[in-house]
């Protein structure tokens, strides 16, 4: 029987060569250093705050540029469109129905809210850097404006926003942009307005109509609020028409005077806030000086018989 002694050292010729101790130590130090560096870098990266999806969207949408809108031309323009009013989404609670197809009660509500809604729309549609020389509203369906700007892009922006606001821009020659002989650009815009009936507004005029005997009271109320808003109407508004519609009487009075654009808008909003059931059938605002305008307003009043 052949026996193998497992405790016996192998012969020198069969032993494997060993690496020097110094070489092994050097390699170990290099590996350890690499591991430490890798761990440190990972720790630093893990401690950096990660941008949330919301922050990433905000960074993409908000771009800071050095662009500044051109200053509006100051020669005989209406003040820049007032932006201090509530311009939230006005399409909520809207019944999309053409003005001509509305029932009488729907039409009265639409007419009384028309002026306020148009001025709110203008506050969203007209950008900085545009000056209006003339602004007209007529028959609760038409808006006309004549204005100037140093920037054609600003005018184009306004036209596009008007379309987004459900305003139908009429083609040339009713709406156009033209060079103003080296002084920027001038424009004319004519729109057909179909705003729909706003059932979300808390002021529904049919619920606040007064009797025919209250006509003098309402006329005085309009004049008093105009004075409080610094709108200087001439005394004794002119009666233009009177008609009977079923169980209702309707009157049109013309108020005329001077005002700033901002103060006239304040009056329109104040009449709405005080729930005075008056409708602006026609408004004409023309720049008189740098800060003053001539104002003519035909006010439609509806009363119970």
Q: What is the pLDDT of residue 300?
A: 98
Per DSSP, the chain holds a count of helices (H) and strands (E) of 6, 12
pTM of the model: 0.71
The values of phi and psi at residue 104, to 5°, are -60, -45
pLDDT at residue 261, rounded to an integer: 94
Distance separating alpha carbons of residues 236 and 228, to the nearest angstrom: 17
pLDDT at 55: 41
Q: Which of 275, 270, 113, 110 is closest to 209 using CA atoms? A: 275
pLDDT given for residue 58 in this prediction: 38
Q: Which residues contact 12 (CB under 8 A, 6 or more apart)?
A: none
Which of these CATH numbers, 3.20.20.70, 3.40.720.10, 3.40.50.970, 3.30.70.60, describes 94-304?
A: 3.30.70.60
Residue located via tokens 């850097």: 129
With beta carbons less than 8 A apart as the criterion, state whether 247 and 104 touch.
Answer: no
The residues facing 284 across adjacent strands are 136, 296
Q: What is the pLDDT of residue 16?
A: 45
Exposed/middle/buried for 300, CB within 10 Å: 0-12, 13-18, 19+? buried
pLDDT score at 83: 57
Q: Which two tokens stand for residue 67?
A: 């662009």
| Preceding peptide of 202 cis, ω within 30° | no
The whole-number pLDDT of residue 66 equals: 36
Q: Give the pLDDT confidence score for residue 245 in this predicted structure.
A: 95
Name residues of the chain where pLDDT drops below 70: 1-93
pLDDT given at position 199: 74
d(C-alpha 128, C-alpha 78), whole Å: 13
- Check: CB of residue 144 under 8 Å from CB of residue 135: yes
Query: What's the half-sphere exposure (Cβ side, CA atoms, 13 Å) at 110?
Result: 22
């Amino acid at each position: 029987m052949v026996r193998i002694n497992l405790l016996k050292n192998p012969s020198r010729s069969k032993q494997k060569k060993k690496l020097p101790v110094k070489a092994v130590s050097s390699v170990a130090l290099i590996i350890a250093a690499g591991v430490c560096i890798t761990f440190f870098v990972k720790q630093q990266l893990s401690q950096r705050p990660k941008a949330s999806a919301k922050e990433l969207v905000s960074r993409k949408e908000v771009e800071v540029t050095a662009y500044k809108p051109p200053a509006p031309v100051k020669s005989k323009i209406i003040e820049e469109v007032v932006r201090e009013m509530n311009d939230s989404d006005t399409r909520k609670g809207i019944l999309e129905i053409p003005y001509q197809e509305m029932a009488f009660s729907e039409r009265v509500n639409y007419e009384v809210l028309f002026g306020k809604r148009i001025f709110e729309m203008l506050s969203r549609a007209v950008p900085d850097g545009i000056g209006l020389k003339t602004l007209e509203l007529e028959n609760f369906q038409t808006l006309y404006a004549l204005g100037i700007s140093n920037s054609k892009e600003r005018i184009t922006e306004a036209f596009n926003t008007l379309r987004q606001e459900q305003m139908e821009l009429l083609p040339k020659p009713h709406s156009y942009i033209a060079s103003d002989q080296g002084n920027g650009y001038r424009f004319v815009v004519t729109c057909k307005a179909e705003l729909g009936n706003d059932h979300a507004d808390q002021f529904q005029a049919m619920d606040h109509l007064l009797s025919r005997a209250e006509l003098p009271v309402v006329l005085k109320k309009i004049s008093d609020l105009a004075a409080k808003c610094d709108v200087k109407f001439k005394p004794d508004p002119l009666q233009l028409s009177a008609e009977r519609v079923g169980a209702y009487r309707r009157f049109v009075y013309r108020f005329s005077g001077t005002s700033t654009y901002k103060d006239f808008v304040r009056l329109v909003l104040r009449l709405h806030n005080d729930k005075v059931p008056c409708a602006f059938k026609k408004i004409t605002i023309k720049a008189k000086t740098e800060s003053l305008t001539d104002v003519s307003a035909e006010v439609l009043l509806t009363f119970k018989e």
